[in-house]
Amino acid sequence: MGLFSLFVTLFLILNVAVICNGGITSKFVRKVEKTIDMPLDSDVFSVPPGYNAPQQVHITQGDHDGKGVIVSWVTMDEPGSNKVLYWSEKSKDKHHARGHMVTYRFYNYTSGFIHHCTINHLEYDTKYYYVVGLGLTERQFWFTTPPKVGPDVPYTFGLIGDLGQSFDSNKTLSHYESSLSKGQTVLFVGDLCYADQYPLHDNNRWDTWGRFVERSNAYQSWIWTAGNHEIDFLPEYGETVPFKPYTNRYPVPYRASGSTAPFWYSIKRASAYIIVLASYSAYGKYTPQYKWLEEEFPKVNRTETPWLIVLMHSPWYNSYNYHYMEGETMRVMYEPWFVKYKVDVVFAGHVHAYERSERVSNIAYNIVNGVCNPVSDQSAPVYITIGDGGNLEGLATNMTEPQPKYSAYREASFGHAIFDIKNRTHAYYGWHRNQDGVATAADSMWFFNRVWYPEAEHPVSQ
Ligand SMILES: [Fe+2]
């Protein structure tokens, strides 16, 4: 009994800080250095040797349930072969898949020969080797398909956003690669290379970025979300079609989920159902994205995929003085559905810092009733801003004060996160700042699934 009382007392003391503050603003002070892009002759951008050697090799999921992979690569000297040679670790039988090739021009830039090849009907949970550049300089890589979709399948996702190609970006990627949690797939929340920060949106920086991330992205799928730096709208130079470089380079399996555009779509992967939304495509009522999402949420079978994850670029709950309220109009449109369908977690980027919210919703307001404050809501998602990949625009350090009650933790540091699903009820989440050792999570929480274990994850302060 005495021991029990001690525990209760300790528990109460430990939680006083949370209850009084209504959230934590980290005291961690990052050494302020200028965030600059790595120069073009950096080793991470080096062109692979050999005539017409495939470069910028990257993969993403190629179908709705994880048995397909899209392999993409670029050749510079000539188109070369469209085919991918692949074989399972379990078999000596080799197969070919045929892809297609695209090129595009962006003002005075002409792309290399960009190849995309979808490999379908793979076996789940199997390591495959693949070769691109057939007949000329060949390069071999490998990937492992996800396990069969099912409710208790463990799976580990990495979270990276707003990566860019600075020295800090390289630290973030290295940190992710050496993570002890071993992320199996990256959920990328938008803003890839920041080429649009260069004169005429120098598309050579799309190429350098592709070479930079190849060391991870050729071996595991990165699931793409479009950010504002993918828009590449430059009408004064005749570039009036948004997302031209992005859509030519980074295909996604949007048709497999009934979407009509590559900016919003869904996939299943292991025990997770992932919905990708488009902050920079129309989302108002009657728009294609709205109609798709309205039909999409009821299709999610939480008995098959208990974890419902949404990715978007512009965050809805953000207490930094950067991009403040930019996500508000989409929140007004879609938040009631997120609560109704019990989304577990929403990952966004855009703000170059880190923040995790409490489970809150703000859906009662109807213009006349004045009920416009976020309230604690155990059916609501946790909102995580993870736009801290390390791009050249630098950190967002200026925060709204005092910290709003909905904000559980915020810190202006670069880093990445890991969402580690254990089974249908529990997932361990950790955010890692670049300045720490790989084993250290600067912010973490155990997620309880909203359908299978809808308890509060920690004492609620509201
Ligand atoms: Fe952004």
State in Å: Cα 408 to ligand 1 middle: 22
Residue 13 confidence (pLDDT): 41
Token pair in block for residue 460: 């609620």
The rounded Å distance from CA 226 to ligand 1 centre is: 9
Q: Which residues are catalytic?
A: 323
Would residue 59 count as lying in a domain?
no
Please give the distance, rounded to the nearest whole angstrom, from the Cα atom of residue 48 to the centre of ligand 1: 30
Range name among 15-19, 223-227, 451-455 with the lowest pLDDT average: 15-19
Six-digit token string for 314 = 């512009």
- 352 lies in a domain? yes
Closest CA to 162 of 356, 355, 392: 392
Question: Distance from the CA of 134 to the center of ligand 1, in angstroms?
Answer: 37
Q: How many domains does the chain fold into?
A: 1
pLDDT on residue 458: 79
Q: What is the pLDDT of residue 3?
A: 47
What is the extent of the structural domain holding 346? Answer: 151-190+263-461
What integer pLDDT is reported at residue 34 of this predicted model? Answer: 77
The pLDDT of residue 439 is: 75
β-bridge partners, 417: 159, 431
- Confidence tier at 438 by pLDDT (50, 70, 90): confident
What spacing in Å lies between the alpha carbon of 215 and ligand 1's midpoint?
Answer: 24
Kindly state whether residue 49 falls inside one of the protein's structural domains: no
Give the ranges where 286-390 is alpha helix by DSSP (H).
288-296, 328-340
CA distance 348 to 161: 8
Q: List for the chain the helix, strand, coil content (%; round to 5).
A: 20, 30, 50
Structural domain contains residue 16: no
361's enclosing H/E stretch is strand 360-361
Q: What is the pLDDT, as a whole number, of residue 23? A: 87
Note the pLDDT of residue 92. 86
| Model pTM score | 0.94
What's the gap in Å between 74 CA and the centre of ligand 1? 26
The answer to the question of residue 415 being in a domain is: yes
Does residue 179 form part of some domain? yes
With beta carbons less than 8 A apart as the criterion, state whether 86 and 95 touch. yes
Report the separation in Å between the CA atom of 193 and the middle of ligand 1, taken as the mean of its atom positions. 11
Query: Based on the number of CB atoms within 10 Å of its own CB, is 409 exposed (0-12), middle (13-18) or buried (19 or more)?
Result: buried
Residue 406 pLDDT grade (very low, low, confident, very high; cuts 50, 70, 90): very high
407: pLDDT strictly greater than 70: yes
Which residues pair with residue 416 across a beta bridge?
432
Q: Ligand 1 is a single-atom ion; what residues have CB below 5 A from it?
A: 191, 227-228, 350
pLDDT on residue 9: 47
pLDDT value for 437: 83
Residue 216 lies in a domain: no
Distance (Å) from CA 231 to ligand 1 centroid:
10
> Where are any strands of DSSP class E within 111-255?
113-119, 127-132, 139-144, 155-160, 185-188, 222-223
pLDDT per position as a tens digit, 267-309: 999 999 999 999 999 999 999 999 999 999 999 999 999 999 9
**What pLDDT was estimated at residue 19?**
36
pLDDT tens digits for range 68-125: 999 999 999 999 999 999 999 999 899 999 999 999 999 999 999 999 999 999 999 9
Tell me 147's DSSP state: P
Query: Average pLDDT, stretch 429-441?
Result: 88
CA–CA dist 275, 31 (Å, integer): 36
The CATH number of residue 282's host domain is: 3.60.21.10
Residue 185, in any domain of the structure = yes
Average pLDDT over residues 241-263: 98
Q: Is the pLDDT of residue 345 over 50?
A: yes
> What's the CA-to-centroid distance between 13 and ligand 1, angstroms?
39
Q: What CA–CA distance (Å, rounded) separates 337 from 325? A: 19
Report CA(400)–ligand 1 centroid distance (Å): 19
249 — alpha (psi -120 to 50), left (phi > 0) or beta?
alpha
* CA of 35 relative to ligand 1 center, distance in Å: 16
Q: Average per-residue pLDDT in the chain?
A: 94
